[in-house]
Amino acid sequence: MLFFQRLEQAVARNNSLLCVGLDPDPKRLPQWTLTDPDPIFAFNRHIVDLTCDLVCAYKPNIAFYEALGTRGMETLRKTIEYAQQCGVPVILDAKRNDIGSSAEKYACAAFEQLHADAITVNPYMGWDSVEPFLRYADHAVFVLALSSNPGAQDFQVLDGNGYMLYERVVEQAVGWNERGNLGLVVGATHPNEICCVRALAPTEWLLMPGIGSQGGDLQAALANGLRSDGSGVIVNVSRAVIYADDPREAAMSLRDQIEEARALRRSGGEGCGPTSRSSDNPNLVALALGLHDIGAIQFGDFTLQSGIQSPFYLDLRLLVSNPDVLAHAARAFAELLDDVYHDRLAAIPYAALPIGTAVALQTKVPLIYPRKERKAYGTGRAVEGHFVKGEIVLVLDDLITTGASKLDAIQPLRDEGLQVRDVAVLIDREGGGREELAAQGLTLHSVFRLRDLMTVLHDEGRITAEQQESVERFVMASPEAIAENA
């Protein structure tokens, strides 16, 4: 039987997604264990006896046993065997990784010598270091994506061309899951990032440490990590159970809390994914902060082309000189438009041309663009780039206030026999453009609405409450006032 089949049986039998970490410290063992020839095993056996009907898995960390030498490794083997005899699968927390030939030996030790059901691995060395573990199709491999410790910030959330490192890991790992025996390790101490992981890995099981002593928010982590079927998460808790005054009571309380969250999710409770709020999406937060930091969002007293005084100014033309922020924007567009059918992108000159190019590179969708004026020489084309009559084109621009300029740009595309149904912008300045396009049968998609963007910047400490309120008053008092704010 495959690991995830055994896991699901345990989940169903015990109505539980709780995993207990068997990480005993010899200095913290109860006095009664010291009379046993193997006090560590006696302690583990006691915990298993108390909780085996309340959990879906156990997770011993190999370090606690290796530190005890050969005696400790024998204790680990006996612990794994005992838990399995009680009908509960065991995930060996070893975070192994090495070149292919060494990884083969690590996999052999874990699966053939210790007889663990699953193992955690570190993917830093890439595919050839993970594949030897995945080769054991009836066992599972949990790839470390985003760890629960504070040091995760040092490397795992570093930006790389619009992607955080942990997101790259998740994408790669999902592509490796050809045998259906791969899961991901995602710390419960990162509830917002769990949204991104679940969006990138909609079906994979998530092993989630960080609840209890590390301070993870159980309810937030479950709300963001559970699949719509109320499953797909293994909540690991170690010290808060094994060192509790009453380990069974502690495990039962956690199991019940998890079951409440599962019931809510199964009944239609809101999860998260690509369509989550911008403040819950790390890439959108990074994009908002990037726009602010490059000066694309400024506050002060500005005179617009219309003569109206505005407390803010947006200049997205600065994106062309800031490739990192442009990459975040391209990724945000790609996520936004993932479910919107289109054959080609069409960028409106001039501000949207670099954005459109970046989005085309990100999504691999061909780009065309309507000219502001038809060429009086050469081909005399009104639309540049290759296209075929009848294709569906999605129009991109940087901003929208009213819909007039978008409708003007769409007309040459339609004159060439192209279909336009959707328009996407980075920022909707909430000046009536959405409604104006809707009246013409067009759907507007925006990465940010202006006030949502300001909420993110305020929540992240980039702008003051007074600045946020000034934008709110400006938009609410006179939507048309921002028509020239570009």
| 14 neighbors 231 (Cβ within 8 angstroms) | no
Q: Where in the chain is the domain with CATH 3.20.20.70?
A: 3-266
What pLDDT is recorded for position 274? 38
pLDDT of residue 401: 84
* pLDDT number for residue 271: 63
Q: For 213-226, what is the mean pLDDT?
A: 86
- Give whichever of 74-88, 304-318, 328-342, 469-483 has the largest mean pLDDT: 74-88
Report the pLDDT value the prediction gives residue 277, as an integer from 0 to 100: 40
Q: Does the pLDDT of residue 228 top 50, yes or no? A: yes
Percent of the chain with pLDDT over 70: 93
pLDDT above 60 (res 347): yes
> 303 vs 25, which has greater pLDDT?
25
Q: 275 pLDDT exceeds 80?
A: no
Give the pLDDT confidence score for residue 153 in this predicted structure.
80
pLDDT of residue 482: 43
- Work out the pLDDT band at 273, boundaries 50, 70, 90: very low
Res 483 pLDDT > 50: no
pTM, two decimals, is: 0.60
Q: 238 and 213 in contact (C-beta within 8 Å)? A: yes
Say which CATH architecture domain 3-266 belongs to: Alpha-Beta Barrel (3.20)
Condensed to tens digits (0 to 9), the pLDDT of residues 188-204 reads 988 888 988 998 999 99
pLDDT-derived band of residue 114, with 50, 70 and 90 as boundaries? very high
Please report the pLDDT score of residue 41 as a whole number: 98
Residue 480 has what pLDDT?
A: 46
Catalytic residue among 27, 59, 78, 95: 95
Instruction: Give 483's strand partners.
Output: none
Mean pLDDT score, 256-269: 88
| Three-state helix/strand/coil letters over the chain | CCHHHHHHHHHHHHCCCEEECCCCCHHHCCHHHHHCCCHHHHHHHHHHHHHCCCCCEECCECHHHHCCHHHHHHHHHHHHHHHHHCCCCEEEEEEECCCHHHHHHHHHHHHHHCCCCEEEECCCCCHHHHHHHHCCCCCEEEEEEECCCCCHHHHCCCEECCEEHHHHHHHHHHHHCCCCCEEEEECCCCHHHHHHHHHHCCCCCEEECCECCCCECHHHHHHHHCCCCCCCEEEEECHHHHCCCCHHHHHHHHHHHHHHHHHHHHCCCCCCCCCCCHHHCHHHHHHHHHHHHCCCEEEEEEECCCCCEEEEEECHHHHHHCHHHHHHHHHHHHHHCCCCCCCEEEECCCCHHHHHHHHHHHHCCCEEEECCCCCCCCCCCCEECCCCCCCEEEEEEEEECCCHHHHHHHHHHHHCCCEEEEEEEEEECCCCHHHHHHHCCCEEEEEEEHHHHHHHHHHCCCCCHHHHHHHHHHHHHCHHHHCCCC
Highest mean pLDDT among 64-78, 159-173, 265-279, 379-393 belongs to 64-78
pLDDT of residue 372: 80
Q: What pLDDT sits at residue 375?
A: 60
Q: Please give the mean pLDDT across all residues of the chain.
A: 90
Residues of each domain in the chain carrying CATH 3.40.50.2020:
278-482
Of 323, 440, 418, 442, the C-alpha closest to 368 is 418
| Cα atoms in the Cβ-side hemisphere of radius 13 Å centred on 359 | 29
Phi, psi of 141 (to 5 degrees): -125, 120
> What whole-number distance in Å separates Cα of residue 187 and Cα of residue 245?
26
Residue 149: is its pLDDT beyond 90? no
Our answer to whether residue 406 is catalytic in this structure is no
Radius of gyration of the chain (CA): 27
Architecture of domain 278-482: 3-Layer(aba) Sandwich (3.40)
pLDDT number for residue 213: 66
**pLDDT bracket for residue 310 (50, 70, 90):** confident
